[in-house]
Amino acid sequence: MENGVGGGAVVCSAETANGGEDLYSCKASDASSVNHLVVMVHGILGSALDWKFAAERFVRTLPDKVYVHCSERNASKLTLDGVDVMGDRLAKEVVEVIKRKPGLKKISFVSHSVGGLVARYTIGKLYESPKRGNGEEVSGNDCVEESKGTIAGLEPINFITVATPHLGSRGNKQVPFLFGVPAFERVAGLVIHLIFRRTGRHLFLRDDDEGKPPLLKRMLEDNEEGSFMSALRSFERRVAYSNVGYDHIVGWRTSSIRRNSELPKWEDAVDEKYPHVVFEERCKACDKDQDEDGHTMGNDGLDELEEELVNGLSRVSWEKVDVSFHTSKLKFAAHSIIQVKDLSMHSDGADVIQHMIDRFLL
């Protein structure tokens, strides 16, 4: 199906057997040179349509550079089955896309909300380790960014998350619609599985499968389940887009992988081209358990597990982009606006998608 709305390259789309959607330029001269797969992953109770605007904008802006696949293997209620189950499904889906398009050489992920956690699990399953001169595999559990492997045989380039609860949802103010009231947050942790089933347990760090630590903690290292840190480190860049406010689903701290004291002060847009982007920073890989003098740092009010998640994810570098829709008429829908889930209602987030594209490594 062709779609030329909005000018630029004409976008072709094809629904896959799995219910997902591939988007690419209709011009044969463009399509023949495309070698970069961009996998877009929706959030809880979502579908491939959630990324429709962003996917089409990517292809129109980079017609001869990207082949976009909007995943829907985990659509709707299937998003309640757990991060690991969804991650396994997405891994199989990615492999099938690569088989359909054998000329692909590079891969990037753009994920919204829980989809970011699913994508992190998926790359851990698809990671293929480089070999040392002696034939031994290189481990990713050390703070070394030089070693790079592949994701399903492709070169990993951009790993982008948008309003993703990297630190889970159980900490104070991590789910803003609970108003930061500890009693509400405790009750939510006890009943969340009744609403969001196994995925809810993973988000609130209340899963204890076979006596194991919570899944989000297990995803801080390489283990028998997957090479999670090696895979994350293998990407050229990792980016976390976060709402500084009015996101009632995912809090600023968990989506930006920060402690309370690390949340930046912001005033206006950093660039008039992106009126809703209010802060940007590049965070180098570091061991946040210690300061420069080797002393153990305080936990800034975080519980022990959340502190471990901050420390573990900070062992790789991140670009952090903070977004504010405080001037938008529908600002209380920030969780959807940042993704432009529905163009008719969430168009204020278009500059965030453009920001993403303008900085996308090819």
Task: List, as one string, the DSSP characters of 119-149.
Answer: HHHHHHHHEE--B-TTSPBPPSSSS--S---
CA distance 41 to 109: 8
What's the domain count of the chain? 1
Tokens of 318: 């991140």
Region label for 5, one of left (φ > 0), alpha (ψ between -120 and 50) or beta (otherwise): beta
The residue whose two tokens read 């008719």 is 344
- Residue 37's SS3 state is strand
Q: What's the pLDDT score for residue 10? A: 80
CB atoms within 10 A of CB 40: 28
In a domain, 172, yes or no: no
Q: What's the pLDDT score for residue 124? A: 98
Residues of the chain with pLDDT under 70: 1-8, 17-19, 28-32, 131-147, 171-181, 183-196, 287-302
In a domain, 351, yes or no: yes
In a domain, 266, yes or no: yes
Residues 284-341 have pLDDT tens digits of 998 655 444 333 344 565 689 999 999 999 999 999 999 999 999 999 999 999 999 9
On the CB side of 215, CA atoms within 13 Å amount to 25
In a domain, 121, yes or no: yes
Q: What's the pLDDT score for residue 303? A: 84
Q: What is the CATH number of the domain that holds 336?
A: 3.40.50
In a domain, 196, yes or no: no
In a domain, 222, yes or no: yes
In a domain, 205, yes or no: no
Burial degree of 316 (CB within 10 A; 0-12, 13-18, 19+): buried
The model carries a pTM of: 0.89
Q: What's the pLDDT score for residue 186? A: 65
In a domain, 189, yes or no: no
CA distance 56 to 70: 10
Tokens of 199: 């995925």
In which domain, by residue range, is 264 found?
Answer: 2-167+215-358
Cβ 65 vs Cβ 23: under 8 Å: no
